Amino acid sequence: MEVQYIRRHHNYQPNDNQCFSYLVKHIKAPVDLVWSLVRKFDQPQKYKPFVSRCIVQGEVNVGSLRQVNVKSGLPATTSTERLELLDDDEHILGIRIIGGDHRLKNYSSIITVHPEIIDGRPGTLVIESFVVDVPDGNTETCYFVKALINCNLKSLADVSERMAMQDRVGPVNNV
């Protein structure tokens, strides 16, 4: 199924000066729970560890812009991003970076969320793909983006699985 999802939703036609890739994460949490985190264009800090703050003006719709503040440790402090695609039925979110003080030019990404069964329980297959310009002489851009997405996907899994476990256990009574 993975290959079918990738062919369907993660097809890029990069130029000679661009790189693209996709990353896959299997999460032991139901798809609706994972999607509830991913779809929050206005709250990426819920699972993206390098985001310290996000501001969106008005309602979140395709075309909405967000101003993201990035935590120290990355070669950037801000990013301006536009919501390109939000499909709650198919669980697809697409963004494009349109500004900020970083080197990611013509960056866009698609993240898709798919139900699957993991160890006999409802789980989620998450696929995130991207395309970005590679500056002349810079061979590290793709590696950097892949490392950042891997970190975000690991955090998404950690947060989702913790929430799923709390849902299964229920509230804790303090006696």
Alpha-carbon torsion (128, 115, 89, 52), positive or negative: negative
Is residue 26 within 8 A of residue 156, CB to CB? The reply is no
Query: What are the structural domains, with CATH classification, of the chain?
Result: 1-168 (3.30.530.20)
Q: How far is CA 30 from CA 80, 113, 170, in A?
A: 30, 10, 16
Digit-by-digit pLDDT tens for the chain (175 residues) are: 788 999 999 988 899 899 999 999 999 999 999 999 999 999 999 999 999 999 998 899 999 999 999 987 777 899 999 999 999 999 999 999 999 998 899 999 999 999 999 999 999 999 999 999 998 878 789 999 999 999 999 999 999 999 999 987 766 554 4
